[in-house]
Amino acid sequence: MTAFCRVLGIRGSLRAAYVANGLKTTARRYATASEPLKRTGLYDFHVANGAKMVPFAGYSMPLAYGDVGQVASHNHVRNSVGLFDVGHMVQSNFRGATATEFLEWLTPSSLSSLPAYSSTLSLLLNEKGGIIDDTIITKHAADAFYVVTNAGRRERDLAWIKEKLEEWNNSEAGKKGPVELEVLENWGLLALQGPKAASYLQSLTSFDLNQLLFGKAAFVPIEGFNLHVARGGYTGEDGFEISIPPSQTEEVARLLSKNPVQLTGLGARDSLRLEAGMCLYGNEIDENTGPVEAGLTWVIPKERREAGEFIGADAIRKQIKEGPSRRRIGLIVEGAPARQGAKIVGPGNEEIGVVTSGIPSPTLGKNIAMGYVKNGLHKKGTELQVDVRNRLRKAVVTPLPFVKANYYRG
């Protein structure tokens, strides 16, 4: 057995199943029995490459490929480069003379000061300050933005955005210049992730990728295609998210999946994002969770926290002033992995919180988890316990991310 197996005392196939089963729980939550599963433009490509397809966010998505296990796939991304199909995500363009002002009302981000072709993590908030969705906003110009939101929140997000867009365009502010929403239906979105992602992509383009720092975007010529490329990703590694017109998606996927690139599915995507300490909608964040307790206050610039006029602003300022009743934390769990829903126990065997995500970490060889606990019990080094299959296991509060990010900042 590998060192990782020895640490956990389990066989490789079983440890891979731990993560896969956790992903399937999430997949079942997003899948709807009454509606047929949608397919990205790469469905046939996945099947031809031996993908095991599972329901996720209303789509049939690859969990893993061929006989490459989840842990091996995970490690390949950490050490080399992997390619993910994230074409189920919702890609949209916002255009109009007051697009900046509209999006600064719709979200708590400061977009007027954001340089062109720069991206920011943002949030869609309800009036109570709860998180409708997390999103990436890329500014192309003062009147043009590219926005990516989660597939599992598609109907809720689009209904909310369209409602607020109509409200804005009928307001005095909107009459200065209406804003239009264009949903990029059926467009492809590929994430090339890992320490060798840049060198591989550089071999396909004359564009100097050293100019493209983390959080920046550009239209990049790639072997005859002119594609929107944003440097960032969900794994904690250096990488790129590449938006592709529907007619070109499969050809670009073939181009980007040659050696040493390995096709990578949802199983590895989930374990990579958890090691990177990133939230998964429906696990760590939802409409009853605010950015303060979720540890996402940093996405709201200071001036916006103090005086910004955005949806949910009053609730956010109240959360900041009064402090949250609970906090999102990282945990190292001894003995056995804790899964979503496991109870977190504090002093005196008091139930103080719940695990939202948990796996055996392939990179660290330890059981890691995220969850929420009562405010005050969230500090680094605090010893707690987690109820894993009716047995209390020692758990220590650990700073996030579990694995240091390797983003390219120049």
Starting from the edge strand earliest in sequence, which strands make up the sheet with 180-183, in order?
Answer: 118-125, 131-141, 144-149, 90-95, 180-183
> Considering the domain boundaries, does residue 353 fall inside one?
yes
Query: Does residue 25 form part of some domain?
Result: no
195/267 same-domain check: yes
What is the per-residue pLDDT across 317-345, written as a single tens digit (0 to 9) for each?
Answer: 999 999 999 999 999 999 999 999 999 99
- Please say if the pLDDT value at position 105 is more than 50: yes
pLDDT over 90, % of the chain: 91
Q: Are residues 247 and 131 in the same domain?
A: no
User: So what's the pLDDT on residue 2?
Assistant: 30
* Predicted local confidence at residue 21, as pLDDT: 52
Half-sphere exposure of 189 (CA within 13 A, CB side): 21
Tell me: do 214 and 228 sit in the same domain: yes
Asked if residue 253 and residue 111 are part of one domain, the reply reads no
6-15, 185-194, 282-291, 341-350: least confidently modelled range: 6-15
The confidence score (pLDDT) of residue 175 equals 87
309 a known binding residue?
no
Number of domains in the chain: 3
The boundaries of the domain holding residue 374 are 325-403
Q: pLDDT class for 9, splitting at 50, 70, 90? A: very low
Residue 62: inside a domain: yes
| Position 14 confidence tier, pLDDT thresholds 50, 70, 90 | very low
Q: What is the pLDDT of residue 17?
A: 44
Residues 67 and 196 in one domain: yes
pLDDT of residue 35: 77
pLDDT digit string, tens, across residues 293-308: 999 999 999 999 999 9
Domain-located, residue 17: no
Residue 131 phi/psi, 5-degree rounding, is -90, 110
CATH code for position 240? 3.30.1360.120
- Please identify, among 103, 129, 164, the residue that sits at the C-terminal boundary of a domain: 164
Residue 215 resides in a domain: yes
Query: What's the average model confidence in pLDDT over 188-192?
Result: 98
- Chosen domain end from 101, 131, 164: 164
**Closest by Cα among 167, 385, 370, 343 to 284:** 370
Statement: residue 67 has pLDDT above 70:
yes
Same-domain check for residues 212 and 148: no
What digits encode the pLDDT tens for the residues 112-124? Answer: 999 999 999 999 9
Q: Which pLDDT band holds residue 33 (cuts at 50, 70, 90)?
A: very low
- Shared-domain flag, residues 215 and 270: yes
Asked if the model's pLDDT at residue 23 lies above 80, the reply is no
- How confident is the model at residue 7, as a pLDDT? 30
d(CA 245, CA 300): 32
**81 and 138 together in one domain:** no
Domain assignment present for 179: no
Question: Which of 78, 16, 22 has its CA nearest to residue 275?
Answer: 78
